[in-house]
Amino acid sequence: MGNICYTQQMSTLSDSEAASLRSERRRLLEELSRLSLLIHGSYFERYSTCSRSGCACHEGKRHGPRGYVALRSAGRPGQHYVRRSQVSAVQRGVEQYHRLLQVADRITGINLELMRGGRLDEQGDLRA
């Protein structure tokens, strides 16, 4: 557990400070809605051999590189082949997941500032 921070709890945010935090939060939430490709996993490429006997891949000319995505989410772990036409979409999706985490951390920071300033309410943005 981290430090317990009491010192700033009694400060108060002004209307304009609270409004600017809420508008930053709104922009971040809009950005989240655009992360439609996100994939919780990592992309990698590798060379491989096939099951055809006599194929050159068994003599050192291995197939590839072929792209795969290794999923990290609980639902469907494992490695999945990525066809070439979708490699860049998958790579963007992996980046989007990292952006999702950054945004979640920043929103946490914003909400903490609002809370310390007595400006966090259950309605969230619906009332802003």
Which residues sit at the interface with Zn ion, rule CB under 5 A?
A: 50, 55, 57
Judged by beta carbon, residue 55 or residue 115, the one nearer Zn ion is 55
Distance of alpha carbon 9 from alpha carbon 37, whole angstroms: 39
Judged by beta carbon, residue 6 or residue 81, the one nearer Zn ion is 81
Minimum CB separation from Zn ion for residue 67, in Å?
17
Contact by Cβ (8 Å): 68, 43: yes
Minimum CB separation from Zn ion for residue 59, in Å?
9
> Amino acid identity, residue 59?
E
Neighbours of 12 (CB within 10 A): 10
Contact by Cβ (8 Å): 31, 45: no
> Amino acid identity, residue 118?
G
H or E segment and range at residue 35 = none
Minimum CB separation from Zn ion for residue 54, in Å?
9
Judged by beta carbon, residue 52 or residue 83, the one nearer Zn ion is 52
Judged by beta carbon, residue 29 or residue 56, the one nearer Zn ion is 56
H or E segment and range at residue 36 = none
Minimum CB separation from Zn ion for residue 90, in Å?
24
